[in-house]
Structures are given as structure tokens and as C-alpha cells.
Structure 1
């Protein structure tokens, strides 16, 4: 099914229209720079550094998002800060395109519709392993843990090697 859809998309003569940005390229770079080049902690959250101890503000989401103050040894603060830095030539971009936060639910629904994929119910109860019998699929076509349908991606006979590359994951 995937290869058939891919072949259909490749036959389309795509036309891409991109308007020039309203404020010009500098405004676009400034906007994207706020998201792609953020550091682990903003300077405005730092309160003080005294006697090798760093104090900063943080939000406690377990208690209603209240702002609290934490004081750490300088070495521990630096250790935690460095956990959020990336190696050279890596860029931090969380989600973009149809996975961007603003319209994620609507875009995923549209993707499912375009791919003719069934919509998953978010409020459906989780099926435990021992309750799989309620699913009407044959036993060989169900996931042994959740009871959901399984999709066969490939079948190999004993001693047969998979075609190379078997799975091309570009994510």
C-alpha cells in the first residue's frame, strides 16, 4: 500500500508556491533563530551566584505550574546545563511541519484521511494482554500485548536474508 501511494505521489507534477515573507528575510531568520538556537536556561531565570552556588527560577508543573527557586552547587548546575547542549553541527528543532504544536491534531487527522488510515480513538481504554479475545481479528494478525492489528512488512523463509534495505526509515 505504501509503495502504491508513493508511486502515485511521484507521478504528480508538483508546483510549490512560496510568498516572500512580510518583513523580509531578516525577520524570518530572527523568528526561526528564537526556536532553533535557544539555550537550556534563559538569563532572566538566573537569580544569583554566591559561594559557588547558583540560584535560578523553575516551574513546578506538579503543583499547578508555580514558580520556585532552586539553588545548586556550581558543578551540579553546569552538569545539568550541559545535558541540554548538543554536539557541534547539530541543531535543536523540536517539531515542524504537520507535527508543529499549533495545528497538530488537525494536520494528523488530515494525514490519516489522505492515507485512508483509520482514526484512533484517544479515549479508548487500553487493552491488556489477557483481554485480547474481544478483538475479532484472527489470533495470528493481532498484537500479543495490546490486541491491535499487526501489519506484515515482510516474510522470509528459513535461511533467507532480507532484501537490502528492508526498511528505509528517514525520520
Structure 2
């Protein structure tokens, strides 16, 4: 379970994964030499998660133009993910992490309290993984609305810095 001092940091090697998604089995290494946005969200078809997914969908073509893939991750089942994709026209992969191992490796699980009941849930978090498979930007405990645009700006800035460094 995540404690604030255990969060992933810029420069950390991105935790590897091979997971089932709405686009078939995918792994971190499938995206070597691309930018990758991994966003972890609590639950399919809830208000905040729907807003966040829709904003990433609206900007998806812009992410693709800058050689970036977007992947959403929650602990929902594949059936739930497929229904969510169909209802909201989600075009990018959603990973089903029902056992929470991927969430644990990215340090996004923490104890929450809702109506007096304690449970372990996903803290809405986003990571930009660079072409070198390291973490280039992290956001923990984000607000859904407007976040996708901030992520796009960050990837654009990262890409610009990479181009300058390659000159």
C-alpha cells in the first residue's frame, strides 16, 4: 500500500508489465521508443473516471501526433472495461489489473474511507514513461477534469526537450 514517501519519482525505471487489455495482451516493452501515458483510475463508468476517459479520448489524436500512447488502468474486470469502452467510445487500451499487482508496482494503492468503511483503492495517478522506459513525470491524487490537457502539454514539452538533446 502506498505511503507518500514510496511514490515513484522522475528517473525511476518504469515498472514492467505484461497485462490483458481491451486491445489484447500488452507490455511495457511494446512501447519502447514511444512516449507512454499510463493513467490509473478508481472505477469504470463513475463520474470522475468517465470525465477523465472522455478528455483523453478527445485529445487522443493529438497524443498520437506526438508519438504517444495512452493506456488507462483500473482494477475493473475485462467485461467492465469492454462495456466502458463501448459506452464512451474509448479508443485506447484499458488494462484490467484485478489482482492489483500493476497498481502496487506503480504505488497507486492506498487506504481510503468512504461512509466510515475502510478499503484499499486506487489513487487517481498518471505517469509519463519516456522512450528510455523511465518515469519522466508523475502526478498522484489528481483531479479528473482538465488533467488530460495538462498531460498533453507535459508530453509536448518532454518531446521538445528530447529533440533539443538529440541535436
- TM-score bracket relative to the smaller structure: under 0.3
Larger Rg: 1
Relative contact order: is structure 1 or structure 2 higher (C-alpha 8 Å, sep ≥ 6)? Answer: 2
- TM normalised by structure 1 equals 0.20
**Larger relative strand fraction:** 2
- TM normalised by structure 2 equals 0.20
